[in-house]
Each structure stands twice: as C-alpha cells, then as structure tokens.
C-alpha cells in the first residue's frame, strides 16, 4: 500500500555518511518539524544529477528560510550517496539518505522495479512535505516525467 497524505512516516533504518556509514531512523530524521523529502531513482543518473538534485541545491536557502529541512533519498549505498553529494557540491544543510536495501522505499510503497534496465529495485521519483512526521503533500511523478517533485513545486507546496 502506498503512503498517503495524512499518514505518518513509517519506521525504517537507512544510512547516512558521516566519516563512515551510520544508521539513522526514518522517524527520528523525518518525524520532527517541517521536512521536504525528495527521492531519485539513482545517484549519478542523468535527470537526477542534472535536474532534480541541482534544483534543490539552488533553492536550499529558500527552504532554510522557511524552516524546512531537505532530505534526498535514493536506493543506493551510503558510499555512493556521499560521493554523489561531494561531486555535485551539495550544501551542508541538505541531507542524503541511503536506502540501500529499499526498506524505507518499500515501507512507503513507492518502489520502482528497474530490473529490466539492470537497476534492480529503486525509488520512484517523488517528493513529499512532512510536518511532525505526518505527510501533508505527496507528489509522485508519472514514468519519465519531472515536474511535481521539483524544488519549485515543493516550495509552492510549503507556502500553500
């Protein structure tokens, strides 16, 4: 079942990279305050690297001024996410979440089967606005699309 507006964020363990991979709880990371979580099918992939992530980097100050923490999720390991963040020059205020086994992505019901393309299980391209652990806005892209999960769309959602 796919998570919906009004649902609480499910509990799952993911990884962040801080000198080494470290476990983090989805409810501890995403369950307090105002959060925008956006997911990309894969670090270093074209749309993710050239459009999706850069939009959030460009608008990071706009989110911070609104008191919103920004997290990027991908079904990649913590080493890949760390390398991607360094290569793309993400600001310290942005947090990269590695969901290497897709546990959190599956708990959300937002997994994408990319096995026919040699990519295994990935996250659909989506973004959500979460307040105190409750989903207020959920924008899931149609296959091949990139509109509703963009930074600009989520800034509008935060301001609504």
Catalytic site positions: 48
How far is residue 129's CA from residue 95's CA, in Å, rounded to a whole number? 15
If you compute the radius of gyration of the chain from its CA atoms, what whole number of angstroms results?
14
Question: Residues of 145-160 as b/e, b for ≥16 C-beta within 10 angstroms?
Answer: ebebbbbebbbebbee
Nearest to 98 by CA among 34, 40, 32: 40
Phi, psi (degrees; rounded to nearest 5) at 103: -60, -50
How far is residue 75's CA from residue 89's CA, in Å, rounded to a whole number? 20
The kind and range of the H/E element at 55 are helix 53-58
Nearest to 156 by CA among 22, 46, 66: 66
């Amino acid at each position: 079942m796919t998570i919906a507006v009004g649902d609480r964020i499910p509990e799952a363990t993911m990884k962040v990279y801080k000198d080494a991979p470290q476990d983090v709880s989805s409810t501890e990371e995403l369950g307090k305050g105002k959060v925008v979580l956006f997911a990309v099918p894969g670090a270093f992939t074209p749309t993710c690297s050239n459009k999706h992530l850069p939009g959030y980097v460009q608008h990071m100050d706009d989110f911070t001024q609104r008191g919103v923490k920004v997290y990027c999720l991908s079904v990649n390991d913590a080493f890949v996410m760390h390398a991607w963040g360094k290569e793309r020059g993400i600001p310290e205020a942005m947090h990269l979440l590695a969901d290497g086994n897709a546990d959190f992505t599956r708990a959300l019901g937002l997994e994408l089967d990319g096995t026919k393309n040699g990519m295994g299980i990935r996250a659909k391209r989506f973004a959500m606005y979460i307040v105190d652990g409750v989903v207020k806005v959920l924008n899931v892209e149609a296959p091949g699309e990139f509109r509703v999960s963009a930074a600009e769309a989520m800034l509008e959602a935060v301001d609504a």
